[in-house]
Amino acid sequence: MKLHIQNGRVIDPGSGLDGVMDVFIAAGKIIAIGDAPSDFHPNREINAQNLVVCPGLVDLSARLREPGFEYKATLESEMVAAVAGGVTSLSCSPDTDPVLDEPGLVEMLKHRARSLNQAHVYPVGALTQGLRGERLTEMAELHDAGCVAFGQADMSLPNARIMMHAMQYAATFGFPVWLRPQDAALADGGVAHDGEVATRLGLPAIPVCAETIALSNIILMARETGATIHLCRISSAEGVAMVRVAKSQGLPISCDVAANHIHLSEMDIGFFDSNCHLVPPLRGLGDRDSLRAGLLDGTIDAICSDHAPVDEDAKLLPFAEAEPGAIGLELLLPLTLKWAAEMRIPLPAALSRITANPARILGVDAGYLSLGGAADLCIFDPDEYWRVEPAMLQSQGINTPFLGMELEGRVKYTLVNGNIVHHD
């Protein structure tokens, strides 16, 4: 299959390439950008006038719900959602049932994902067996099976000694450790930020120190053990400040934020909107503003979708009992563009947060455009408005705080290895 993508604004955040030009694809690779190679006869032409052509998006946190939670979503449905959102590489968390703590499960997931021939799936393996925080998993074996990093999903490690050993062991092999900073005891039972809204609504709360105390442990141990750390879904202003200091000291730490958290705050819970029951909780407006600023100055490297499809019945419950999470794969691009527009950030810089930067954190060959590189592309209309509603979403879940709202930026084509896997 030979493809000719015409007249698009081609943006490669990694190299700084930005201009209206053509892209030529053959045998799954980009063979030319700009002028046509001699003797090129495309099977198909895509008119990308007024569209942006950029590397396929890279998402650091998507729950595909397989194995074990197929009633919430299936690999099929969520892989379609991924490419509909322009995501061509994603990492999935180990909190499936069974937990991704055995090589066989990882191989099966990789195989299932490959056979669907859509986005590339990079599993994060469980750091401890069953995510119970007691015994380490066979990380080297899991790595051979395809895990790119090791983490605890939303389960906290019960004590500092286990965290220390897990980091030391991972550092032995150079495996990155992905942790969402949260102290289990301080967060226990909480469902909302310990602020004005939880006080007003009478919701059990999670204080900011649940994040910062865990963050402090992680940073100190990263220094001690030399482990490469990725901090998942930071939520507070104080947390951002701590990461900024740690990075300035040269520690090998990276950090992401969920797309919802750079736009929403505790105020959006309104009268108990269970779609705003998220993990970590939506915090105060000041926290949200610090997340936005931290993302701008590079303290936070990447935006993730934190995609978590939840079946409708599990959301039609009182706020605290409703299952936390929101879908995000199909909102990652528009929510990133919204942040960029509100912060007056040029498009290439915004796109780096969902392409080159997360690819670097994942340590995979993705997130850039280059001659001879895989033709994983996202082609989107930066100006098209669309309403977030079930008919417009491919994910099996429709749980998002943005339901009913208009967002700007719509993915028109997604290419993986030169194949058109999505066309709007």
Partner 1 sequence: MTGLLGTMTHNPQLNRNGRLQHLLTTEGLPAPVLLNILDTAESFMGVTERDVKKVPLLRGKSVFNLFFEPSTRTRTTFEIAAKRLSADVVNLNIAASSQSKGETLLDTVDNLSAMHADMFVVRHSQSGAPHLIARHVRPEIHVINAGDGRHAHPTQALLDMFTIRRYKRDFHTLRVAIVGDILHSRVARSQIHALTTLGVPEVRVIAPKTLLPAKVERLGVRVFHEMAQGLKDIDVLMMLRLQQERMLNARLPSTEEYFKYYGLTPEKLALAKSGAIVLHPGPMNRGVEIDSAVADGSQSVILPQVTFGIAVRMAVMSILTGT
How is residue 313 written in tokens?
A: 């019945």
- Interatomic CA distance for residues 393 and 397, integer angstroms: 8
* Torsion angle of the four alpha carbons 341, 345, 348, 352, in this order, in degrees rounded to the nearest 10: -100
Residue in 59, 194, 306, 376 annotated catalytic: 306
CB 291 within 8 A of CB 261: yes
Selected binder of partner 1 within 321, 365, 383, 406 (CB under 8 A): 321
Which C-beta is closer to partner 1: that of 19 or that of 318? 318
| Position 268 contacts partner 1 (CB under 8 A) | yes
From the CB of 275, what's the least distance to partner 1, in Å?
7
- The string of DSSP codes covering 6-67 is EEEEEEETTTTEEEEEEEEEETTEEEEESSPPTT---SEEEE-TT-EEEEPEEEEEE---TT
Instruction: Please name the residues in contact with 173: beta carbons below 8 A apart, sequence gap of 6 or more.
Output: 139, 140, 143
Selected binder of partner 1 within 271, 344, 372, 391 (CB under 8 A): 271
Which C-beta is closer to partner 1: that of 241 or that of 320? 320
Pattern 397-416, binding to partner 1, x per CB under 8 A?
----xxxxx-----------
How is residue 116 written in tokens?
A: 């669907």
Which C-beta is closer to partner 1: that of 182 or that of 399? 399
Return the residues of window 139-198 that contact partner 1 according to CB under 8 A: 194-196, 198
Q: Considering only CA atoms, which of 22, 59, 167, 81 is closest in space to residue 411? A: 81
Q: Which stretch binds partner 1 (CB under 8 A): 110-118, 301-309, 318-326, 368-376?
A: 318-326
From the CB of 342, what's the least distance to partner 1, in Å?
10
CB 402 within 8 A of CB 359: no
Catalytic annotation present for 306: yes
Selected binder of partner 1 within 18, 273, 323, 408 (CB under 8 A): 273
Which C-beta is closer to partner 1: that of 131 or that of 335? 335
- The string of DSSP codes covering 252-291 is SEEEEEEGGGGT--GGGGTTT-GGG--SSPP--HHHHHHH
Residue whose pair of structure tokens reads 């060959």 in the numeric block = 365
Which C-beta is closer to partner 1: that of 150 or that of 402? 402
Q: Which stretch binds partner 1 (CB under 8 A): 72-80, 127-135, 316-324, 354-362?
A: 316-324
From the CB of 271, what's the least distance to partner 1, in Å?
5
Which C-beta is closer to partner 1: that of 9 or that of 283? 283
- Report helix, strand or coil for 139: helix
| Position 15 contacts partner 1 (CB under 8 A) | no
CA angle 176, 131, 266 (to 5 degrees): 85
Selected binder of partner 1 within 121, 264, 310, 393 (CB under 8 A): 264
From the CB of 78, what's the least distance to partner 1, in Å?
22
Q: Which stretch binds partner 1 (CB under 8 A): 124-132, 143-151, 264-272, 367-375?
A: 264-272
* Phi, psi (deg, nearest 5) at residue 307: -60, 125
Catalytic residue positions?
A: 306
Rule CB under 8 A: which residues touch partner 1? 194-196, 198-205, 207, 263-265, 268-273, 275-276, 313, 316-321, 401-405
